[in-house]
Chains A and B, each alone.
Chain A
Amino acid sequence: MEAWSRFLDTFFNWDVIERYFPAIMKGVVVTIEIAAAVVVTGTLLGLALAIVRTFRLLAVNALIVVFVDMFRALPPLVLVLLVYFGLPNIGINLPSFAVLWLVLALVLAAFAEEIFWAGILSIPKGQWEAARSTGLGFLGTLAYIVLPQAIRLTVPPLTNRTIAITKNTALGTVIGVGEILNQATTAQSFSGNATPLMMGAIAYVILFIPVVVLGRLLETRFAWRRV
């Protein structure tokens, strides 16, 4: 009984919950803002890059491949630190929120480009030829025939990747973005109690469980269709 009340006192302390609830909620808002910004800009940039790649300009494609491979190979935390601590040395000062957004959007764009590109490649050549022979131009074929089919294929892998990258908003804590984890660790050191960490963890679970479950549904629906 003694141990149980001590456990409750350390991880579910009501006073602490009451005192730090507003701070954690502020973190939730910041996390949602960054996540939304990253998802929108990242997927759009990825789609744009994949479209540019269909023009098959050798030099441009080489640049895209280098960009994509670099941002897929480097851990996001390394990129965040590199941009946040490195750029001021050459006179570019970005606020930490912008750094986190920029890095995560670029990482998502790199993965999204690969996924969209794979989707576009998976559309048989006959689709292109048939569309072109009906008089559609190159862009028309891309916009009305190829992309609608390609994007449908990319939904499950893209959802998974997007979830993984949105969870990286927690990395913002390292450079002082006031998101959930940052608020939670600050509150934890002020209160000398582990409850804020528990609140932070719960906030993340509430935010991400629906997305994980949605991803699972998309996957099964996709698998079921393929059979």
Chain B
Amino acid sequence: MEAIVQQFFNLAIMERALPLILAGLKQTIVICLIVIPLGLAGGLALAIISLSHLRTVRWAAIVAIDFFRAIPPLVLLIFIYAGLPFAGLRPSPMTAVAIAFFLNTSSYYGEIYRAGIESVGQGQWDAARSTGLQAYQTLTYVVLPQAVRNVLPDLVSNTVEVVKLTSIASVVALPELLYSAEMARSVTFNSSTLLCCGRSCV
């Protein structure tokens, strides 16, 4: 028990590591602020495309969504960060994270939006169009507000997943929360820092 407290809940070390962890927390928030709006916008676009009347367009969107849902986000991130330099592009860690998360989260958000839009009855479309609204007006003023409300719980829980997912940015050495904790751990040889980071996630 003594050893566990010493190794995992060591107050002196937590105090020393706190500034690092806070800097990491800030970085985590910055990543979230970039990644979540991008994902929400991309997802909406994907959902609208996947509802297209043209079969090829619809299938292309569904294939893209399933493709990026099948690839683990960490694989996508490493592929972009370590693979693109071979093609002559050298993304910064932040760009790599933004691209990988954009591709991954927008396909998840896309599925959620699509379910929401499909949950709004066809009659709503017909009624709105018959009052003289254009298709895009129907979508923005009539269908989307109802659709988003129907899938709000899923949108929120997916957003929580995205926030948790930002921890994988540590692999490409963006100094976010987990990376700072890891660094503090290897400098202090004590695991309290990781727990400290865990708690700020909770």
Contact = CB atoms under 8 A, between A and B. Distances in A.
B79 interface: yes
Contact of A77 (B67, B71, B82, B168): B168
A212 B198 contact: no
Contacts of B132: none
Interface stretch (B2-10, B29-37, B90-98): B2-10
A90 interface: yes
B78 A181 contact: yes
A86 B8 contact: yes
Contact of A167 (B72, B83, B178, B195): B72
B50 interface: no
B197 A78 contact: yes
Which among A79, A81, A91 has the highest number of chain B CB atoms within 10 Å? A81
B164 A10 contact: no
Given A188-B82, A194-B86, A78 B66 contact: no
Interface string A195-210: 0011011001101110
B112 to A, nearest CB: 11
Given A75-B165, A82-B195, A204-B75, A194 B3 contact: no
B22 interface: no
Contact of A90 (B7, B83, B170, B185): B7
Contacts of B198: 74, 78-79, 82
Contacts of A212: 66, 69-70
Main secondary structure of the interface of B (DSSP, over half): helix
Contacts of A63: none
B75 A170 contact: yes
B90 to A, nearest CB: 13
Residue from A11, A78, A194 with most neighbouring chain B CB atoms (10 Å) = A78
A70 B199 CA distance: 10
Contacts of A78: 167, 178, 181, 194, 197-198, 201
A10 B74 contact: no
Contact of B194 (A76, A81, A188, A216): A81
Interface string B167-202: 110110000001001100100011100110110011
Interface of B: 3-4, 7-8, 66-67, 69-76, 78-79, 82-83, 86-87, 161, 164-168, 170-171, 178, 181-182, 185, 189-191, 194-195, 197-198, 201-202
Given A11-B86, A205-B71, 20 more contacts: A74-B164, A75-B178, A77-B178, A78-B167, A78-B181, A78-B197, A78-B201, A79-B198, A81-B194, A82-B191, A89-B189, A89-B190, A89-B191, A90-B7, A168-B72, A170-B75, A181-B74, A197-B78, A198-B83, A204-B71
Interface of A: 7, 10-11, 70, 73-79, 81-82, 85-86, 89-91, 163-164, 167-171, 173-174, 180-181, 184-185, 188, 193-194, 197-198, 200-201, 204-205, 207-209, 211-213, 216
